[in-house]
């Protein structure tokens, strides 16, 4: 009998072998789980996501949410009021300093200076009834009327008005005209076809500054659904007889400039050229789903300049709100120059905007344009709508799949080292077999 056997009695060795055996079983099992099940599953999920993105382009709506947000909006509105006032005071100074030319405020927050007050009659407001919608341009305090001749034309109009229902549908962009007998009041007749809560924004330009005002929401009575919110992140939409695609970053991050590029085709895939709509290739309105953010912008028209207003340093932006900044460029890009939506056409015209979203949340963009030669009144356009989710920060730089792979590799290396260190077969063990 050798010395070794005395040091390692047979029972201890058997126990050790048993333990060794089960340890190897468990370890192999973990490896099998990782490589045979977990990683392939992750991989399939990843490629599944990619497939879904492609599915988008086939106009599949892959995300739908039914949200009733009336109540939430009410509360948010109240809480917002006081805070916005403070924010505004700070922002206003910044804007002057930075030479921005537009401001955004809620009508009710204005206690001093230029404001537009909304008045709709007759009450109650019912669907299918022609309502008289008045916008009174005045200065506070004292409600001193501001006649039209003190205002400036922007994009061919003295006043621009945008409206939207609480579900972010029923978008409208209209242009009231001032009354002959009271040039401080702009009026338009409007018949609402669907009931619900509506928010209306108006903007006027005075002393080279564009002022946009959010007006208190309006409840329209009538039979039918008051809200029908459907969120889809499809990047291709069909509107009227056109398909419009919007290309942008996969992940839109707050406070980081992002490019939104729009491409218009017929249903048969032919490139569509646009004609000027209110002196721009496209008007883009971006509104946050809680109505707290409003942005209206245009790319600079390609050569056609009809605006009587003096050109601003950055004429591309009609409205820079106190919360969202944007400027747009119309870019003619040849096919292949843009990554997402190449076509076989040799002259793929893409209309691009640069937008910085100030905070996270859900936004809806309304892109308005006039296809060349379309038979529509001159201040009407086709509207394509897209949802954008704005995120806090960029996702993990390397994809999760690669991250998991790296972790697995490190674990395997570590475990191998452990196995190697503690489970080395010693010459003594071999001798025992004799
Ligand atoms: Cu307008």
pLDDT digits (tens, 9 = 90+) for 218-245: 999 999 999 999 999 999 999 999 999 9
**Residue 3: pLDDT band with limits 50, 70, 90:** low
Q: Domain of 137: which CATH number? A: 2.60.40.3340
How far, in Å, is the centroid of ligand 1 from the Cα of 385? Answer: 16
Q: How far is the CA of 235 from the centre of ligand 1 (A)?
A: 24
Domain match, 11 and 129 both: no
Instruction: Kindly indicate the confidence band of residue 334, based on its pLDDT and cuts at 50, 70 and 90.
Output: very low
CA of 128 to the centre of ligand 1 (A): 24
Distance CA 292, CA 62 (A): 26
For ligand 1, the distance from its centroid to the CA atom of residue 310, given in whole angstroms, is: 17
- The Cα 251–Cα 246 span in angstroms is 14
Whether the Cβ atoms of residue 360 and residue 393 lie closer than 8 Å to each other? no
CA distance 339 to 298: 23
Residue 360 pLDDT class (50, 70, 90 cuts) = very high
HEC readout, 43-89: HHHHHHHHHHHHHHHCCCCCCCCCCCCHHHHHHHHHHHHHHHHHHHH
Longest Cα–Cα distance in the chain: 122
Do 218 and 355 lie in a common domain? Answer: yes
pLDDT, tens only, 111-146 = 999 999 999 999 999 999 999 999 999 999 999 999
Q: How far is the CA of 278 from the centre of ligand 1 (A)?
A: 7
Q: Is the same domain home to 374 and 411?
A: no
Q: Please state the domain count of the chain.
A: 2
Residue 398 located in a structural domain: no
DSSP letter for each residue of 237-248: EEETTEEEEEE-
pLDDT of residue 335: 32
Burial 211-233 (b: 16+ CB within 10 A, else e): bbbbbebbebeeeeebbebebbe
Q: Which of 19-23, 38-42, 272-276, 364-368 has the highest mean pLDDT?
A: 364-368
Q: What is the distance in A from the centroid of ligand 1 to the CA of 174?
A: 6
Measured in Å, residue 283 CA sits from the centre of ligand 1 at: 8
* Better-predicted residue by pLDDT, 294 or 36: 294
The Cβ of residue 125 has, within 10 Å, a number of other Cβ atoms equal to: 19
Are residues 47 and 72 both part of a single domain? no
Q: Are 125 and 78 in the same domain?
A: yes
Most confidently predicted of 23-32, 71-80, 251-260: 251-260
Q: Is the pLDDT of residue 356 over 80?
A: yes
Cα(46) to ligand 1 centroid in Å equals 43
Question: Ligand 1 centre from 270 Cα, in Å?
Answer: 28
Give the residue-averaged pLDDT of 336-340: 33
**Domain region containing 199:** 59-391
Residues 45-102 pLDDT 10s: 654 444 334 333 333 333 333 333 344 444 444 444 444 444 444 444 444 333 446 7
Q: Helix 400-422 vs helix 10-32: angle between axes, to the nearest 10 degrees?
A: 170
pLDDT at 54: 37
* 318 alpha carbon – ligand 1 mean position (Å): 9
Distance 308 CA to ligand 1 centre (A): 15
Q: How far does residue 295's CA lie from ligand 1's centre (Å)?
A: 12
Three-state DSSP state, 181: coil
Which residues have C-beta under 5 Å from ligand 1, the single-atom ion? 160
| Rounded distance from Cα 203 to ligand 1 centre (Å) | 9
* Residues 354 and 221 occupy one common structural domain: yes
Question: What is the pairing mode between strands 382-391 and 252-253?
Answer: parallel
Report the separation in Å between the CA atom of 315 and the middle of ligand 1, taken as the mean of its atom positions: 15
- 367 and 349 within one domain: yes
Residues 374 and 258 in one domain: yes
The more confident residue out of 353 and 2 is 353
Q: 237 with 281, same domain?
A: yes
What's the gap in Å between 49 CA and the centre of ligand 1? Answer: 38
- Claim to verify: residue 45 and residue 103 sit in the same structural domain: no
Establish if 400 belongs to a structural domain. Answer: no
Quote the ligand 1 centre to 92 CA distance (angstroms).
23
Q: What pLDDT was estimated at residue 336?
A: 31
């Amino acid at each position: 009998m050798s010395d070794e056997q005395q040091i390692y009695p047979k029972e201890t060795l058997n126990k050790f072998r048993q333990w060794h055996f089960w340890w190897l079983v468990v370890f192999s099992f973990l490896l099998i789980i990782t490589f045979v099940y977990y990683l392939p599953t992750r991989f399939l999920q990843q490629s599944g996501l990619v497939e879904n993105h492609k599915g988008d382009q086939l106009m599949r709506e892959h995300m739908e949410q039914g949200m009733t947000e009336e109540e939430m909006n009410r509360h948010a509105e109240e809480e917002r009021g006081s805070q916005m006032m403070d924010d505004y005071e700070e922002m206003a100074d910044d804007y002057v300093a930075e030479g921005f030319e537009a401001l955004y405020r809620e009508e009710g927050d204005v206690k001093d200076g230029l404001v537009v007050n909304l008045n709709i009659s007759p009450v109650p407001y019912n669907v299918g009834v022609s309502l008289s919608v008045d916008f009174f341009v005045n200065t506070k305090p004292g409600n001193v009327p501001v006649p039209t001749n003190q205002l400036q034309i922007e994009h061919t109009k003295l006043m621009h008005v945008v409206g939207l229902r609480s579900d972010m549908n029923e978008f409208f962009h209209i242009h009231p005209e001032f009354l002959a007998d009271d040039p401080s009041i702009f009026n338009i007749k409007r018949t609402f076809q669907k009931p619900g809560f509506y928010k209306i924004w108006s903007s006027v330009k005075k002393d080279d500054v564009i002022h946009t005002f959010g007006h208190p929401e309006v409840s329209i009575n009538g039979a039918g659904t008051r809200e029908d919110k459907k969120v889809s992140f499809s990047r291709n939409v069909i509107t009227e007889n056109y398909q419009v695609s919007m290309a942008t970053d996969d992940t839109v991050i707050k406070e980081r400039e992002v490019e939104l590029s729009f491409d218009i085709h017929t249903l048969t895939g032919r490139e569509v050229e646009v004609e000027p709509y209110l002196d721009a290739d496209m008007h883009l309105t971006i509104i946050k789903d809680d109505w707290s953010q409003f942005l209206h912008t245009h790319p600079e028209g390609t050569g056609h300049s009809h605006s009587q207003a003096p050109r601003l340093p950055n004429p591309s932006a009609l409205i820079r709100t106190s919360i969202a900044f944007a400027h747009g460029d119309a870019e003619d890009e040849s096919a292949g120059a843009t990554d997402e939506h190449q076509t076989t056409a040799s002259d793929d015209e893409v209309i691009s905007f640069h937008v910085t979203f100030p905070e996270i949340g859900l936004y809806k963009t309304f892109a308005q344009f006039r296809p060349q030669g379309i038979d529509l009144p001159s201040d009407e356009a086709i509207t394509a709508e897209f949802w954008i989710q704005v995120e806090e920060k960029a996702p993990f730089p390397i994809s999760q799949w690669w991250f998991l792979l790296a972790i697995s590799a490190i674990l395997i290396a570590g475990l191998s080292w452990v196995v190697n260190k503690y489970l080395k077969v010693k010459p003594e063990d071999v001798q025992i077999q004799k």
